[in-house]
Structure 1
Amino acid sequence: MIVFTNKNELKDKISSIRSQKHTIGFVPTMGALHKGHLSLVEQAMSNNQYVIVSIFVNPTQFDNPSDLEKYPRTLEQDVALLKTLSKDIIIYAPSVNDIYDDKVTSTKFSFDGLEHQMEGKFREGHFDGVGTIVKKLFEIVTPDNAYFGEKDFQQLAIIKKLVSKHNLGVNVVGCKIHREENGLAMSSRNTRLTKAHKNAAPFIYKTLLTAKEKFGTKSANQVTKWVEQQFANHTLLQLEYFTIADANTLKTVQRKSKYKTYRAFIAVYAGEIRLIDNIALN
């Protein structure tokens, strides 16, 4: 298994792959890999002749310095985990300097309003950071296909918009949310949950499932108020937001239409750990 830390050396390897007219699948990650990440890698392996996985904790997408500092970094374990799938996976684990040179700053992007919804309201500059790192990685790796989980559905929509607006020539593939047996959406942040919060966290998905059921007969406003009430009564979980939005524009729905598709989005604090999730409603 090859682990590259230098983008120029990686580009040389990619040139060799391209000379053989092989396809490249790409899975960008921030490490602390789990089964959810592995499911993305497996999908990439099934569709491409070569797979590249990046492991890089991107500083420009963190609005909270403490969150960046505490984000788990487990490169040796990540490499060992990927090796269980295939020794032919190519890993790119760069330093901050290799990605950003001496300018660790975000580019300002417009994603046609997608960036101002939900996460954008609570994490200032977050999607500029996401756009910056994904564009840089796509330009280094030049993949045919790139794989992202639907847990970060807003991010997935923004990356598709990024590719479209900047003509990056990458097919962006959304992959279903991978969940633990208790329903909790898999996340690298789950490893930081206390035992009490980990036991409480499945309440998030349970609430989403009931919200989906209620959405069949009740208005979006009624469902939202019901969800807010459920968390108001919870002692360990604090709701940051719950939104029912148009799946295409991500704008909060005012009035349901049978001609549109909707998703429910949620962000919850379990102690100091912020968890997000979402579910298709129709």
Structure 2
Amino acid sequence: MNIIKNIHLLEKKIKELKKKKKVIGLVPTMGNLHNGHIKLILLAKKYVDIVIVSIFINPMQFNNLLDFKKYPKTFEQDCYILRKEKVEILFCPDIHEMYPHGLKNYTYVDVPKLSNIIEGRARPGHFIGVTTIICKLFNLVQPNFSFFGEKDYQQLLIVKKLVKELNYPIKIISLPTIRLENGLAFSSRNKHLNSLEQEKAPYLYKTIEHTCNVIIQNKGKKIPKTINISRQYLIKKGFYIDIFDVYNSKTLNPISKENKSIIILASVWLGNTRLIDNKKIILKN
């Protein structure tokens, strides 16, 4: 595996690959790799000649310095995983390489509306950090394909909108959420859960699934009541709720009677750990 930490070396390598007409795939990560990342890499290998994984813990997308500092860093273990999966290139720049003049007054990329609702309202500035770093990576790697998980559903829609509106010649491929046997979505933040919280955490997706089943059984009626019951159940289980609601799955607008494709988005706190999850459903007449 070729480990590249310098932008100029990456640019040189990309030029070589483009000359050889290689199809390039980018899997952007913040490290602390888990089974969800591995599945993304395996998916990428079906589409491209060269898989490039980036590891960069992006300070611009964190709401507070403490959260940024405590983000799990497992570089040696990550390299072991990537070598095992035969990833060709790892791009792992440091902060100074990506933001040489610091974050203050740095040029940023904003996807309006979608970045300021739901998760964006709960975490102001978060998605500006995401879209800015994604644009930087797209410009540097120039991938033909880029791969994202569906657990971060709002982020996925924002990236797709960014690619379309900024005319990037990149195809975005998404992967359904990868879960543990108990239903909990794989996440780097799961490591922050203590033993009791690990026992409680699966109730989030179980509650989402149950809520979806009730909505389907009621044929889309009494949704506010159904959501409220689910929220109260999670609160009794010890969760603090930022977001637990139903949205139009294509626009993330509030649902209307005409909506058939809807999604439950959830962002909750369990102790000091923030968990996010979702589930999409299709309502039939």
Fold match by TM threshold 0.5: yes
CA distance in 1, matches of 2:244, 2:234: 10
The letter for the 1-side match of 2:125 is G
CA distance in 2, matches of 1:260, 1:24: 36
**Alpha-carbon offset, residue 104 of structure 1:** 1.8
Scaled by the length of structure 1, what TM-score is found?
0.95
Q: Against the structure 1 CA distance between its residues 133 and 110, is the aligned structure 2 distance closer, same or farther, given a 3 Å change threshold?
A: closer
3-state SS in 2 of match to 1:248: coil
CA-atom RMSD in angstroms:
1.3
Percent identity, aligned pairs only, is 37
CA distance in 1, matches of 2:6, 2:250: 37
Question: What is the match of residue 270 of structure 1?
Answer: 270
Is 1:17 the equivalent of 2:25? no
Question: What is the match of residue 241 of structure 1?
Answer: 243
3-state SS in 2 of match to 1:274: strand
**Alpha-carbon offset, residue 137 of structure 1:** 0.4
Kindly provide the CA deviation profile for residues 126-176 of structure 1, in whole angstroms up to 9, marking residues without a partner as x. Answer: 111011000000000000000000000000000011111211211111111
Is 1:219 the equivalent of 2:218? no
**Alpha-carbon offset, residue 125 of structure 1:** 0.5
Question: What is the match of residue 156 of structure 2?
Answer: 156
Q: How many pairs were matched up?
A: 278
Kindly provide the CA deviation profile for residues 186-236 of structure 1, in whole angstroms up to 9, marking residues without a partner as x. Answer: 0000111101101110000100110110111133212211111112322x3
CA distance in 2, matches of 1:176, 1:231: 24
Counterpart mapping for 1:197-212 below 5 A: 197-212=197-212
Contact residue 24 and residue 51 of structure 1 kept, 8 A: yes
Question: What is the match of residue 179 of structure 1?
Answer: 179
Question: What is the match of residue 141 of structure 1?
Answer: 141
Of 141-150 and 61-70, more deviation after overlay is shown by: 61-70
Question: What is the match of residue 90 of structure 1?
Answer: 89
3-state SS in 2 of match to 1:32: coil
CA distance in 2, matches of 1:214, 1:265: 16
3-state SS in 1 of match to 2:135: helix
Contact residue 243 and residue 252 of structure 1 kept, 8 A: no
Of 224-233 and 107-116, more deviation after overlay is shown by: 107-116
The letter for the 2-side match of 1:98 is E
The letter for the 1-side match of 2:174 is G
Contact residue 220 and residue 256 of structure 1 kept, 8 A: no
**Alpha-carbon offset, residue 256 of structure 1:** 3.2
**Structure 1 unaligned regions, length at least 5:** none
**Structure 2 unaligned regions, length at least 5:** none
CA distance in 1, matches of 2:185, 2:156: 16
The letter for the 2-side match of 1:6 is N
CA distance in 1, matches of 2:115, 2:226: 24
Is 1:252 the equivalent of 2:245? no
CA distance in 1, matches of 2:92, 2:250: 33
**Alpha-carbon offset, residue 107 of structure 1:** 4.2
The letter for the 2-side match of 1:222 is K
Scaled by the length of structure 2, what TM-score is found?
0.94
Moved segments of 4+, more than 2 Å: 105-112
Kindly provide the CA deviation profile for residues 39-79 of structure 1, in whole angstroms up to 9, marking residues without a partner as x. Answer: 00111111100000000000000012111010001111001
